[in-house]
Chain A
């Protein structure tokens, strides 16, 4: 039996309605957890005053410099916390398996550990993709981590470090998977654990992995290195299934929702209700495959496109990742080694060349894509641009040499 509950008239209004209520969950925990009683007190205060009351600090586990998000209350009277049992409310960021799969036994063990050492509140998952064990006293951080670590789980990233990666459900349950997303994400992150657990980069660095251009992991606008599946041979068409789809959905539906929605006009409906595809014009956008997924599918010669530099607002504004590798196979051990080496090059270049608090996208904007590619050892490719330069403000002293390089590459 915990201490007496504080009145929470504002939060109480979030217990009604059909969606599951986190407030009801917090109150249930508060029945026998003093930290939760006081957490509710502080949260209610925030709702009343519309102000936040947490500050960061330095809390960690032995051997690591990151992975714990320290939170100390700033809600004090005469220097003493108003809600003392929630005066420390730290979070442990823990990396899930790729695709966020769990068996029930593992989930129950998480609950037992967190009931023993923490508040009993766990978020599945944070925006970076971590399991967030929320609400822990400074003293309990180490023993809680030790038990989670013994289960085979490790802390994720925080601060200027490699962050927790994300990969889609992919090959485990999706017909559009173009490579082994889980293996790729694991390899990228586990290759950079030193830069994750001992934060010393200019700023954060994120890997995200999506199995096809639907990009369910939102990698293009969030990841410093986005790995997105694609294919370079013809997409596969089962004409009997196309006919069956047309017969069921109707020609008008197919014309309006498949044929004319192709961004490069690469599709045409034949007179016999089969599909004609102009594959060289296809940009692998996925739309027609999404609509007719039984009839259409990615080709057999699959691989990945890499984009670099996606990020959110601060400081210079939102940036999408841009293509740095249009296509590479991702099948053999050698393919994976190639990606591991390239990712290391990029991370090292970022560590050495970015300014403090600068993401890869801002760095590329500052130094130019060509300098970045040269720095990490990648060759230029017209797939990296939407269109060529539109201004004459450049010097081309060595134009002939550069043109000769193109001729040489084209001859290969």
Chain B
């Protein structure tokens, strides 16, 4: 038997071999940039060199035919180099302005939307879902495809007060991260436990330790060691499910969507913020999740109509106040919007600041 091949532990590869020559030449020496139109960036280096970037939306999960098509376009209409943004948009860099329009025309003809720059709604950053995850409450690629169909105009135009960055997550771990609008699974019922399986599959003490509200305890059920959940304490977060799959949290009916607004990573103007709950109980309704789209559009339309230039969604809500936010978006305000988790009193109004 031949020796097994040991991996070359090379780690993160160097950037340089993959860098467009103009980017390489002007590395660290850029002066300013402008956006000649949505989806196009023009960067000027201190050397006087220019690079034009054309940004296009993709489906993120790409088949090799799509990738080869995008590479054919890069070779024929651009200069053989591409990069991807954090939101799975593809970027083509060209050193001559005359190449921009033919590149745009070709990408659009092949069905790739041009946009995602500046004050547009960029591609939704998303997770795996039913396609590949072992704990998903929904599908990510499908929900995002359906939403981006509705948001196509907002991706290809820069008509929002400021950039809008959206995320989705298929469970409450929230791999999608913070967003101006975040669309996340919210379970509404405690886990259903398959007591025959728990002892075989789960390391019980670590499952007990995972629960944020100490609602899980060891128990003997039908003569077998298992776990039981204090359903009055349970907040249905699903933290017990990954280490213990027999504690099934996903439910076709009762796993709903919650919608959150006002997450912001940038330090621009205000400090970074977490997103805040605005809607819940939204049905998980494949294949196109129309109830989700409806609420997202309600929020976006109100924001677009009412926010001032440069206000992100969270900043807009803070300025007009949350009563006006619920009024303008038409979303119901409930007792569940009032934070009762640890530290939650920080989220209450401890002042006489009231808007009328």
Binding site for B on A (CB under 8 A): 10-11, 13-14, 16-23, 25-26, 28-29, 39, 43, 46-47, 49-56, 61-64, 69, 71, 89, 91, 95-108, 110-111, 114-115, 120-127, 129, 134, 145-146, 149-150, 152-155, 165-166, 168-169, 171-175, 177, 180, 182, 185-186, 189-190, 193, 196-197, 213-222, 256-257, 261-263, 283-287, 290-291, 293-294, 297, 312-318, 320, 355-357
Q: Are A104 and B51 in contact (CB under 8 A)?
A: no
**A-chain residues with CB within 8 Å of residue B310 when the two chains form the complex:** 257, 261, 287, 291
* Complex CA distance for A115 and B63, rounded to whole angstroms: 9
Beta-carbon nearest neighbor of B165 in chain A: A218
Q: Are A256 and B308 in contact (CB under 8 A)?
A: yes
Flag whether B329 is at the interface (Cβ < 8 A). Answer: no
* Complex CA distance for A189 and B284, rounded to whole angstroms: 38
Known A-B contacts A62-B5, A357-B206; A69 and B132 likewise in contact (beta carbons under 8 Å): yes
Contact with A along B60-102 (1 / 0, CB 8 A): 1111111110110011000011111110101001000000000
A329 to chain B, nearest CB (A): 15
Binds A, one of B18-26, B188-196, B217-225, B296-304: B18-26
Binding site for A on B (CB under 8 A): 4-15, 17-20, 23-24, 27-28, 30-34, 43, 51, 53, 57-68, 70-71, 74-75, 80-86, 88, 90, 93, 111-113, 125-139, 141-142, 145-146, 148-149, 152, 172-178, 206, 209-210, 212, 237, 239, 245, 250, 252-253, 255, 263, 265-270, 272, 274, 284, 286-288, 308-310, 341-343
Given contact pairs A213-B266, A314-B237, enumerate 8 new A-B contacts (beta carbons under 8 Å).
Answer: A11-B142, A20-B57, A25-B62, A39-B131, A52-B129, A103-B18, A165-B12, A294-B31
Q: Are A127 and B175 in contact (CB under 8 A)?
A: yes
By secondary structure, the B interface counts as loop
**A-chain residues with CB within 8 Å of residue B134 when the two chains form the complex:** 52, 54-56, 71
With beta carbons under 8 angstroms apart, the residue of A13, A120, A182 that contacts B287 is A13
- Contact sample, A vs B, 16 pairs, CB 8 Å cutoff: A18-B113, A20-B112, A25-B65, A28-B65, A50-B286, A96-B13, A103-B81, A104-B80, A110-B67, A114-B64, A124-B88, A124-B90, A154-B10, A189-B11, A215-B272, A313-B172
Q: Are B12 and A186 in contact (CB under 8 A)?
A: yes
* Complex CA distance for A53 and B133, rounded to whole angstroms: 9
Beta-carbon nearest neighbor of A19 in chain B: B148
Beta-carbon nearest neighbor of A166 in chain B: B86
Q: Are B61 and A123 in contact (CB under 8 A)?
A: yes
With beta carbons under 8 angstroms apart, the residue of A51, A101, A216, A293 that contacts B252 is A51
Beta-carbon nearest neighbor of A153 in chain B: B13
Q: Are B59 and A214 in contact (CB under 8 A)?
A: no
B26 to chain A, nearest CB (A): 8
With beta carbons under 8 angstroms apart, the residue of B23, B68, B75 that contacts A172 is B23
Q: Are B268 and A102 in contact (CB under 8 A)?
A: no
B147 to chain A, nearest CB (A): 9
Q: Are A124 and B265 in contact (CB under 8 A)?
A: no
Known A-B contacts A101-B83, A175-B32; A71 and B63 likewise in contact (beta carbons under 8 Å): no
**B-chain residues with CB within 8 Å of residue A193 when the two chains form the complex:** 9, 11
* Complex CA distance for A123 and B127, rounded to whole angstroms: 11
A8 to chain B, nearest CB (A): 10
With beta carbons under 8 angstroms apart, the residue of A19, A125, A127 that contacts B59 is A19
Q: Are A127 and B7 in contact (CB under 8 A)?
A: no
**A-chain residues with CB within 8 Å of residue B145 when the two chains form the complex:** 14, 17, 19, 21-23
With beta carbons under 8 angstroms apart, the residue of B20, B30, B139 that contacts A46 is B139
